[in-house]
Amino acid sequence: MPKALRWWVLVLGLVALPGAWALPDPAGGVGGSGATPDGIGGTGIHPGGIGGTGIHSGGIGGTGIHSGGIGGTGIQPGGIGGVGITALGVIQRFGSIYVNGQEYVLTPQTRYSVDGAAGTAKDLHLGDRVTVQAAADGRAIAQEVRVEHAVIGRVTEVDAAKRQLTILGETIQASKMTPVSVHDSDQSLSFTALKAGDVVSISGLDRGNGHWLATAICRLYPGDTAPARIPLLLRGQVDALYPGQDTLEVGATKLKVNGALLGAIQVGQSVVVRGEYADGEARVESVSPTALAAQDVGNRVSLVGYLARGMDGWTTHGVSLVEGPHTLYENGDAATMRAGSMVAVEGRVQAPGVVNAERVIFSVNPMDFDFPIIPRMPVLPPVLHHPEIERPEFGPPEIEPLVERPELPDND
């Protein structure tokens, strides 16, 4: 075959090779299949989670599973399994239990306590103020439920028009939605059925300065049938100590105590005071610091309560709140943070008793509240940058000049 012809055959063969002029795929992905370096575009799977299911990082999708806060399932960063959750609020409804709009599944392994004493699931009532410790395993599984009453004692005054009670000097404000029940009974009472002398337990939220919002009221004994010795309990912040007078001031209440009990107590500390009434007088038997509600660093937290001004900033339920440049506010802003404001907070435990507030919502109803779902930002398809490849230009082949063959003389 002449040399020039062989060259053209080679060129045509290269052009015919599969993919000879196809552009290379973007790094790590498959062109045309939707697969990208970070996930599979065509299926909705994208970096940080699964787009099609609403599972993602930084927001809440269809399932409420997210890394930025607490959604419909309460399952937070890191996916499902091994995530700790702490909730402080009131029982809103049953079917398991709902606290702050989140369902917590009760299992045979769930532990219960009432004011520090062992309890059972039967001790849970609508409106009870509780602390729930849970783990996420597909759903929020309640490991421990602690019922923590605000006040237990004898009613000294009733203002039916204002729906207020006075117990141990504390002012208890009830709303029209506050359930009033009878101990160990399914019977409900109207607020006007409560009388001075009745012994009641109050579940509620601390408004500060000796004022409480009652979320549940249970009449333990009518005044005329109360036993000689009845329990006493008061939660709150220590506002003053009078060691020389053996007196402790919590909220609006001054109580006589054994001076030895004051040695381990400090002003500003959250405490629970226990004792009993004997011969009509309140006698304090113990004063104990309240256990920190949010202790496990890294745990997710949801809470509903009133703001108070602490030594280092805002607090609620004795938990210090740390705001930051990325804190989200709803129904207000950072300037709306005021003592006595009812807020819902979600975030993460930064240190024992300290919560990094990721979201703060103002003007909420603790008995009928759910953390609204954060709108999910649309996931845009990745922009693929195809590198430009210079295509070599091929000119016509150089053809060797024809060499004229000399004419040979005939030998004829």
Average pLDDT, stretch 121-136?
94
DSSP code per residue over 13-70: HHHHSTTTTPPPPPTTSBTTTTEETTEEGGGTEETTEEGGGTB-SSS--TT---SSS-
- Name the more confident of 108 and 384: 108
Q: What is the pLDDT of residue 165?
A: 97
- Name the more confident of 201 and 391: 201
Helices (runs of H) and strands (runs of E) counted in the chain: 1, 29
- The answer to whether the predicted template modeling score (pTM) of the entire model surpasses 0.75 is no
CA distance 101 to 132: 13
Other C-beta atoms lying within 10 Å of the C-beta of residue 314: 21
- 3-state SS, residue 262: helix
Give me the sign of the Cα torsion angle 250, 254, 260, 266.
Answer: positive
Q: Which residues, 6 or more positions from 16, have their beta carbon under 8 angstroms from its beta carbon? A: none
Structure tokens at 67: 């890394």
Other C-beta atoms lying within 10 Å of the C-beta of residue 197: 15
- Does position 68 have pLDDT exceeding 70, yes or no? no
Percentage of the chain modeled with pLDDT above 90:
51
- Does position 364 have pLDDT exceeding 80, yes or no? yes
The residue with tokens 């300290």 is: 354
- Does position 260 have pLDDT exceeding 90, yes or no? no
CA distance 233 to 247: 16
pLDDT in tens, 191-227: 999 999 999 999 999 999 899 999 999 999 999 998 8
